[in-house]
Each structure stands twice: as C-alpha cells, then as structure tokens.
Amino acid sequence: MFTRTTAGLINKFLFYSEPIIWVEGPDDLPFYYPIINGLGCRIEAAGGKDECERLSEFIIQDNLPYIVVIDSDYEILMGYKILHDRVIYLHKYSIENYFFEREIVQSVCCKYSGSLEGKEALGTLFDEVEKDTQQHLYELVVLDVANHREGTGLEVIPTSPEKLIDIRSVHCSSERVSQVCKAISINIKPETISESRTLIDNFLRDRRFSDLLKGHFIFGIIRHLIRHGTQMLNKRLPNFDNDSMYIMLSLELWNLKPSAHCQDLEHRIRNAVTQALELKSV
C-alpha cells in the first residue's frame, strides 16, 4: 500500500543527486556509515521495517534509484529472501548479530584495557559464552519462534539479557531460563513448537545460533561480555554508554570484516549503490 508517509519519503529525496539508502531506524545509521563513506550516497531512517518494506515495493515496481536494507528477523529461518538487487535483507536476525564475533570482542577489550595481553583468554571467554548461550537458550528461542508463528503476543525473550544471565560471568541462569520456558510453553500448541524446532535445527546445520537471537538481546550479551573481558584484563570496569559501544563495534566490524556474512553484506550494499548511481546518471 502506497501510504502518505511512503509517498513523502519517495518524493522528498527523488531528485537529490545522491541515491538514498533506507534503513529501518536512526539507531541503525552508525552501523552503515563506515561502509558508505565515499560511495556518493546518503543514508536515511525510513521509520520502521513496515515502511522499509513498502519502499521496497516501489523500488521493484518503478525501479526507483533507492536502496533499502531490512532486518530478516525470524524470516531468516525460511532461507535468504531475495526480491531485488537493491532490496537487501540481512542474513542474520538484525544488524546487532553481526557484532557477535570473537575478533571484535578481543579487539574492543584490548583497546579499552590498553593492552594486548590476555587476547587468547578473551577468545576462550567468547567461545565459552557462545557455547553456553546456545546450550541454555535453544529451547527458549524455539518457543519464541513458535510464539511468533502463532502471533500470541507473549514476551518470550526479554529486550535485555539481565533477566536471564548472570552479568558477572555472562553465563545464563538455568533456573531463570527454565522458569520462562515453563510459563510460555503452556500457551503454545505442541505442533507449532515441534515445527519451530525443526526450522531451527535445519538452520543450525550451517549457521550459528547467535545469528537467531534478537538484536537488543545479543547486543546486551556483547556489552556484558566486553565489560567482563575488559575487567579481566585490567581489574576495573570500563566506562562506556550504549551509543559509544555501538559506534565502536560498528567501526571494528567494518575494519576487521571477520566473517563471510559481513563481507557479503558490504558487497551487496556497494553493488546496490553502484546500480542506483547508474540510474541517477541516465
């Protein structure tokens, strides 16, 4: 549906010389700035996923010189969504999942502590947290996917992880997770739970469990992991806010490019901008 909001967004920027990359919200902007620098484009917040998907309809229909980047959420379980070269769906739940990388955590902790000593210990800590997260949260994510498929509106996975993890060790509390699972499972059909488990198991054949965790939740784990890792190196807690952490993680991500998915996303965005620039030049 072509809403007044969508029309306003399209008309406002249609005659700008630079093509526009639309992302869901203003919090997403720092994530993309490092890779669009120098590409001759600009980036704007569309106002949510629904608005991005409405914009994508008109990119496809009218070949507009725009790019739109959209979180996949649990749609990633159904496979990669490919609609158009300039409609880019992430290959993870959201942008925050791209930050959950061993090399990024090591680099950020070492920079905060001012020392490279203990880098391997940080890697071990990351591996332990990754393993612990999958071991303890697997069933909860199964229930969340089932909850999403049934549209019950229940909160399964909290926005922040503090309700489920011990922030001193960044390991999950089995008791807390079990309590949530028991409270939620009675409200969801067993067959939906079984179907959701199959989807997740198929996904995990060649993907990481952390790619499925909701953005704010995985960001919270990363934040506590970096706080714990930095304290482990220099015996004091680092002082940073979420915005500063987000910017630093974005810079480290695009500097290190530690995964094939990160490199693929950059490649897709750069190709899309090149296409949009060609359309602008006609």
**pLDDT tens, position by position, 109-150:** 998 888 788 899 999 999 999 999 999 999 999 999 999 999
Q: Please say whether the beta carbons of 212 and 175 come within 8 A.
A: no
Q: Please say whether the beta carbons of 218 and 210 come within 8 A.
A: yes
Q: What is the average per-residue pLDDT within 56-84?
A: 93
9-13, 142-146, 149-153, 222-226, range with the lowest pLDDT = 9-13
Residue owning tokens 């059909």 = 189
pLDDT tens column, 189-215: 999 999 999 999 999 999 999 999 999
- How crowded is residue 252: how many other Cβ atoms within 10 Å of its Cβ? 21
CA distance 282 to 275: 11
Q: What is the pLDDT of residue 155?
A: 87
Contacts of 183 (CB under 8 A, 6+ apart): none
pLDDT band at 93 (very low <50, low <70, confident <90, very high): very high
Q: What is the pLDDT of residue 2?
A: 43
Q: What is the average per-residue pLDDT within 174-197?
A: 95
DSSP letter at 153 equals -
Q: What is the pLDDT of residue 167?
A: 84
Q: What is the pLDDT of residue 13?
A: 64
pLDDT tens column, 18-66: 899 999 999 999 999 999 989 999 999 999 999 999 999 989 998 888 9
Helices 260-281, 242-256: inter-axial angle, 10-degree rounding: 90
Q: Considering the chain, what is the average pLDDT of its residues? A: 92
Kindly state the percentage of the chain with pLDDT values over 70: 96
Q: CA quadruple 128, 129, 134, 137: dihedral positive or negative?
A: positive
Residue 242 has pLDDT above 60, yes or no: yes
